Amino acid sequence: MHIHRAHACTGYNGGVIFFRTYQLKKEEKTKKHMKKTIAVTLTLLSLLLILDSFNFGHALMMFYLAGVIPGTNIAIDAARMLEFFAVVAGFIVARLTVYIIRSFIPSVMSISRPQTSTN
């Protein structure tokens, strides 16, 4: 059985905070994790229900396919939608490129750095 230590504030008296040390069993830690998981899952499901009540999926597909701005009757012409998607794709490619380059920089810097001997 795994035992985890935790501290709880039990009181405050004249500038001194009193802490009580207690031990959490693995089952208690698992229960807390499950409560958090259930809360996050229910929050996400609630968000999906709210978005579904606004017909978010339909509005998003109409924007992608026809250029209709959600909540209005305004449609963007095909050339402007192509420009929009080109800009979005450019940002995504740029972010991925920067991420890849930054992931290689530490290994390149360690290879190119000469080893200095200290005597």
Handedness of CA 106, 112, 113, 116 (dihedral sign): positive
- Tens digit of pLDDT for each residue in 50-76? 999 989 999 989 998 889 998 888 999
The answer to whether residue 76 sits within a structural domain is yes
pTM: 0.47
- Tens digit of pLDDT for each residue in 73-116? 899 999 999 999 999 999 999 999 999 988 888 766 666 555 66
The answer to whether residue 1 sits within a structural domain is no
The answer to whether residue 37 sits within a structural domain is no
Number of domains in the chain: 1
Phi-psi region of 33 (alpha: psi -120 to 50; beta: other; left: phi over 0): alpha
